[in-house]
Amino acid sequence: MNRPIAILLLALIIVGMLFSTFALFQGKFVEALLVYPLLVFAYVFSRRGKK
């Protein structure tokens, strides 16, 4: 994985964690958990170009 993609994934993870934490404090459990499959999806597509 090259550096720009790694930085982008790191930024997405940080934003996703912040959003999930904020949503959990508001009592929105479903919205908080919807972020994680999107992060896995982004990771899979970032690894797809490596093959």
Average pLDDT value for residue range 4-13: 87
Residues whose CB falls within 8 Å of the CB of residue 39, separated by 6 or more in sequence, listed in order? 12, 13, 16
**pLDDT by residue (tens digit) across 22-49?**
999 999 999 889 988 888 888 888 777 6
- What pLDDT is recorded for position 49? 62
The CA-based angle 5-34-22, given to 5 degrees, is 90
Split at pLDDT 50, 70, 90, the class of 5 is confident
Q: Is the pLDDT assigned to residue 17 strictly greater than 60?
A: yes
Q: 51 pLDDT exceeds 60?
A: no
Q: pTM of this prediction?
A: 0.72
